Amino acid sequence: MAKVSGLNFTTISVDLADGTTATAIKNDVTNLQWSTPRGVQDITGVDKSAYERLLLLADFSVTLNGVFNAALSHTVFSTIGSGTTNRTTTLAVAGATLANETLYTDYQITRSAGGELTWSAPGVLSDGTSPAWT
């Protein structure tokens, strides 16, 4: 695969509160961050002079940031405070796709001094399935 920039996202979608209706919000998203860390257990014996470790559980977290759009991204995230729905979050860039069941934990809206109305929505893995790019 050739090196690519982050300019060619083909999909950023998040389910509505029903947990089944994927909604494309890439036009509202201005920046995002995601992580797929693994836990680590230190198993170093006293006979070693360097660490020994085992990989443990996998995880996923995401933070989407965007411009307020009452008809699109606000519709997706406005129910976060009152619901506990797993939402499929799909990120696709350069032919690679990462889709995870996600619990969104907050929907923060900011009105800056300059007048910008923006939002941020952090989410975490919800269903115990290891994140995997396809």
pLDDT digits (tens, 9 = 90+) for 5-61: 888 899 999 999 999 999 999 999 999 999 999 999 999 999 999 999 999 999 999
Residue-averaged pLDDT of the chain: 95
Domains of the chain by residue range: 9-125
- The pTM (predicted TM-score) of the whole model is 0.91
* Interval 108-126 mean pLDDT: 98
Q: What is the pLDDT of residue 8?
A: 84
1 band by pLDDT with thresholds 50, 70 and 90: low
The per-residue b/e assignment along 59-71, b for 16 or more CB within 10 angstroms, e otherwise, is ebbbbbbbeeeee
Four-CA torsion 66, 72, 77, 78, nearest 10 degrees: 120
